[in-house]
Structure 1
Amino acid sequence: RSSAPAVVKDHTHDNGNGETQHGTGTLEVYDEDSYCGIGSCRPPCVQVCKNMTSFSAAVSLASLVASALNSYITSQITTLERHFNFSSSISGFLLSCNDIGYLVTTLFMSYYTRRVHVPRAMALSTAIYGISGILCAVAFFGTRDQLSSPPKESFNAPVVFFTQMCQNATTAANLSCGDASTGPRTPFGITEHWKQIAIFILALGMILQGVAKSPRQPFIITYLDDNLPKTKTSVYLGAIVGLSFFGPALAFALGSVFSGMYITLEETNMTPYDPRFLGAWWLGFVIFGAAGIVVGLPMIFFPKRMRKRVELKEVKHKKDPNVSGIRRLWIDLK
């Protein structure tokens, strides 16, 4: 990796005693890691964003989306249970997959904090968040053809689904039990085979969320601490964390909106109170997933480090060859 040579500004003078006095100087380090951009593309016009305020704004937005996606499944767990006929134990397993991915990778990610390009690692983390959300939505697209068209009339009276309404050996197939060729179905027409696939897809998506969550805190804290005065680190960190607290509120607010839309987004006279109604739980995963990929892109262009000036300590060098080694060491250490 090429970088421009360092330029040292130093003030020297002879004090008349055989010693050359070197004053305090400034080392200008013009390396590509301290400029915004990628590779050789580092135009001066984008260097205006090379400050911690711009970085904190980008990270805050990414943290907001990641926090919202992290909480969104909680707002849709009831709809998922009805759609795929999940038991409470399966729902609990899916929710715990996020923590499983986090615990498996958090120590590894923390160890490599100072060995990576933090802004780009944060961009990758946010992109993985987005991919995990879109992956969770795949569980719906794989079963969309198995869903029947929504009835046009509304029916608000309570209805109880009975999963054992007929035997597979008979010809009386319905949404609950299916037929001999497809096997038993859930009340919404999902086969047992696709139910198991949906569990795998959702579990994988939640594990990826946990993996993407593990580097965020150590990476953000380290980058802020390395590029800010100690008195300002807490201010920027508080702003980032504070904005991420709005993520769950955003997730539940949009979750309530999507729950009022039919799962296939088709027109229907049914209301959410109709027991045959199923909310569009997958829509939030797609929106938050796509948003995660988009908001993560700007962080790719931030530099590995913001600071490029290193203040040199005042040193003294004696040219008189008669100076003893101990005295020269003392002069160099001063």
Structure 2
Amino acid sequence: MKKMDTSATGSWTLDNKPTSSTVKNSCHPNLKMFLAALSFAYFAKALSGSYMKSTITQLERRFDIPSYLIGIIDGSFEIGNLLVIAFVSYFGAKLHRPKIIAIGCVVMSFGTFLIAMPHFIIGRYKIETSVRQSVNSTNNLSPCPESSPESTRAGDRPSILPSRGCERESGVSMWIYVFLGNVLRGIGETPVQPLGISYIDDYAQSENAALYIGCVQTISVIGPVFGYLLGSLCAKIYVDIGYVDMETVTIAPDDSRWVGAWWLGYLIAGTITLMSAVPFWFLPKSLPMPLDKHDTSCTPEQTRFIKDSPTMEHKFRPEEPANLHQMAKDFLPTLKSLLGNPVYIIYLCVTIVQFNSLIGMVTYKPKYIEQHYGQTASKANFLMGMINIPAVALGMFSGGVIMKRYKLGIMGAAKFAFGTSLLGYFLSLFFLAMGCENSKVAGITVSYTGVQGSSYQEPSLFSDCNSGCLCSRREWDPVCGENGITYASPCLAGCVSATGSGRNTIFNNCRCVALADTQPGNLTAALGQCTSRDGCDRIFPYFLALSVLSSFIISLGGTPGFVLLVRCIKPELKSLALGIHTLATRTLAGIPAPIYFGAIIDTTCLKWGSKMCGGRGACRIYDTSAYRIVYLGLTLGLRTVSFLLCISGFALLKRHVKREEKYALTNGSAELETLRKEENSSVHCEQFIPASDCNPDRETRL
């Protein structure tokens, strides 16, 4: 016979087991360690992912590729996920989840190091230029070489750039290494989210699960803060720092040809990711069940009864032996059961459309700030990291707190997520009104006389003022005239002489400057593009303020929406559902969105650069009005479609909730009737009553 131990306070335990109050108020040390380790892993993967997006323009310029190709590189991360995520989510849930996550972090770090490798094998960065080398050399040639009638009719001049190195660079596309490294990053990141979130939801108290998930998601949003700040720092540093004399570098960070030290950030991010793998090797496969799933004062017989209780259904996950053959046999039926849930399917459709909008917007937002508002890559990344991302982090955390504070159910979480997303959508409409005019570039956005509205055609780069020069229409070596107009090159500005060297070079007697200059002067032009855009500078602070507000409001619904996902499915399908959700959003949003957003942005390019060995390079200047319309229009259009899908989603969810409530009431009544009958028959307590009724303070004969 078991003996009953009574303390002075009246509480007691069976076989010296801890009291309910002791267990309820405690959190297992390994769960705390897992939360810390998972938060660090989320931070590391978010840092490297956001750093990748912060280097978009740097990679475009370094490898001379268009935006759609950058979209393919960015989407390669999701390709890596696609290769393994379904199997990792299903089989990983049955195996040692912490160690699977550790292996993923190691693979992710190797991929990050691989992305940086092209810098060490591609050679030095050669700036696309027309006469700058000649100006700085002992043979100081004129920026405007004389042309013959034949060459003038041809409308182009042979490039003075050396052809040496063309064979090496054309032999293999260095961006392939970046592509493959990002694929490895995607493979390594696969187990972190589905296995990590399901582990927390399995072993955390019911009332704390949403808060824990919110905290982890918040840390994952803090990661991009440091990722964009790292991108801002590296964008200020010249790509070949330490290998070239910076006095000979004649371009500034605001030049469209500037390339920062993009490779340095990947080495730092890879090291941090490798460190994040360490704690997971020391964590156990499973943890003791918390009180709301497993009251430690009850026996194994009671525990078997508890797992059938509808009140614990969303939390309990039975520990099954790892039988690979049986798991493989059950995979298709399990997948069929999951995809047969209409609420889950409509949730997938809504999030896929919203993720298309979100990923496309975030990927090209720093570039949009650069091109539309005339900011440097370093400043655009800094603003993303210090203003936008903290607002998102605060919103994610606040969403988790609101879930806990008001104890929102499935319908409450759905309504809250929809309401915040809709409010953020209406605020985002104001972005369409915050436009800037195009920069004044002679022969591209304005005529040589300064008249705006000139549509770009290649022959329009030539005018009477530069007809006597043997100029190339392919060159982009901008100079800013005293009249505030930018010219594509000193030659196309009609400049006949130059003084100074390096960044201090001044071009004199520029005939084209005289056409639009209303005041007499010496008709000089300085290196670089003109940056005077007073109207745009006044609009930019309002754009930032609205961006912060809309980001915060939209992100408020992030955590409730995520909790909604894990609550609308069966508990044994939780890991697989999270994996399929990640698979679907990565495949149908993460991969295509950057590609078609980039392709549409490419259509607004007004002047393409040229590669050293011929061919089209990266875009040098965009039509800012068209850029704003296609970028914001596509973002808002996709979100409009997602709201239409939500209408049918609410109807399905309402029916699902009513069905679950009816099922719980029916089973609860039957269970209570069984308990009454068994108690009247004097059957042992621990065999039948649920954990909530297994009260040690009740007088019980054993």
Q: TM-score, normalised by structure 1?
A: 0.66
Q: Which runs of 5+ in 2 are unaligned?
A: 5-12, 18-26, 137-142, 144-155, 303-682, 689-702
> Structure 1 vs Structure 2: percent identity of aligned residues?
26
C-alpha distance in 1 between matches for 2:157 and 2:3:
96
Q: How does 1:1-334 map to 2 (within 5 A)?
A: 11=2, 50-143=29-122, 145-147=123-125, 166=158, 174=162, 178-179=163-164, 183=166, 191-194=169-172, 196=173, 198-266=174-242, 268-269=246-247, 270=249, 271-274=252-255, 277-307=258-288, 311-313=298-300, 334=688
Does the CA contact (< 8 Å) of 1:122 and 1:296 recur in 2? Answer: yes
For residues 75-120 of structure 1, the C-alpha deviation after alignment (integer angstroms, 9 at most, x for no partner) is: 1111111111112232111111111122232211111132221222
C-alpha distance in 2 between matches for 1:281 and 1:226:
40
Does the CA contact (< 8 Å) of 1:113 and 1:222 recur in 2? Answer: no
Code of the residue aligned with 1:240 in structure 2: it is: V
Structure with the higher helix share, 1 or 2: 2
C-alpha distance in 2 between matches for 1:229 and 1:49:
11
Task: State which structure, 1 or 2, has the greater radius of gyration over its C-alpha atoms.
Answer: 2
C-alpha distance in 1 between matches for 2:158 and 2:285:
64
C-alpha distance in 1 between matches for 2:14 and 2:49:
51
Task: Give aligned pairs, total.
Answer: 257
C-alpha distance in 2 between matches for 1:50 and 1:166:
71
For residues 307-326 of structure 1, the C-alpha deviation after alignment (integer angstroms, 9 at most, x for no partner) is: 289641569xxxxxxxxxxx
Does the CA contact (< 8 Å) of 1:24 and 1:314 recur in 2? Answer: no
C-alpha distance in 2 between matches for 1:275 and 1:283:
20
C-alpha distance in 2 between matches for 1:333 and 1:249:
53
In 2 relative to 1, CA 24–49 (structure 1 residues): closer, same or farther, beyond 3 Å? Answer: closer
SS of 1:245's equivalent in the other structure is helix
C-alpha distance in 2 between matches for 1:165 and 1:192:
23
For residues 269-308 of structure 1, the C-alpha deviation after alignment (integer angstroms, 9 at most, x for no partner) is: 4432356642100011100001100122122112222328
C-alpha distance in 1 between matches for 2:51 and 2:301:
56
Question: How far apart are 1:212 and its partner, in Å?
Answer: 2.1
2:462 counterpart residue number: none
Does the CA contact (< 8 Å) of 2:3 and 2:14 recur in 1? Answer: no
Q: Which runs of 5+ in 1 are unaligned?
A: 1-9, 14-22, 28-47, 185-189, 316-329
C-alpha distance in 1 between matches for 2:81 and 2:236:
32
Aligned Cα root-mean-square deviation (Å): 3.6
Code of the residue aligned with 2:170 in structure 1: it is: E
Question: How far apart are 1:260 and its partner, in Å?
Answer: 0.6
For residues 169-221 of structure 1, the C-alpha deviation after alignment (integer angstroms, 9 at most, x for no partner) is: xxx761xxx24xx545xxxxx71124x2x222111111112222222221112
In 2 relative to 1, CA 115–314 (structure 1 residues): closer, same or farther, beyond 3 Å? Answer: closer
Does the CA contact (< 8 Å) of 2:38 and 2:192 recur in 1? Answer: no
Question: How far apart are 1:60 and its partner, in Å?
Answer: 0.7
Does the CA contact (< 8 Å) of 2:101 and 2:192 recur in 1? Answer: yes
